[in-house]
Structure 1
């Protein structure tokens, strides 16, 4: 694994972990693994997950992200405010 791909993998793990905390509940904490959460984020936002991309997520994309989690985990959609807060914490890192 190259240094860049290792750094990307670590970033995605951090994204998945932070968002996993934000969406639980309604997503069951045991189901919200970092890897599963990253897949839901990719479904809503596309495959290119970078700090700049996540920092630029707008209201429509936040609503799409909430719906992606609802579909991925077959549960109620998490709150948009919780997702926004998680993305803000990721950007702060």
Structure 2
């Protein structure tokens, strides 16, 4: 791929990422509208033509590795392992 093609591809990627951000913001605004309707109606579930929305609390339990590391540094270092992953960054 020559430099002109690379420039065009990078610009296209930047443009697509901007569109994704705009669409995510729009999806969040639409989600907020549905949530507001649920609060207004005092319900955790709504249903329409071909869709159903639920909004409720979900309990979960997660491991607090930061606290564990502070309290048990020796065990943390014994059982932690380093990993390497590729990361692609395109900055403007």
TM-score by length of 2: 0.28
Which protein has the larger Cα radius of gyration, Structure 1 or Structure 2? 2
Higher relative contact order (CA 8 A, sep 6+): 1
- Give the structure with the larger strand fraction: 2
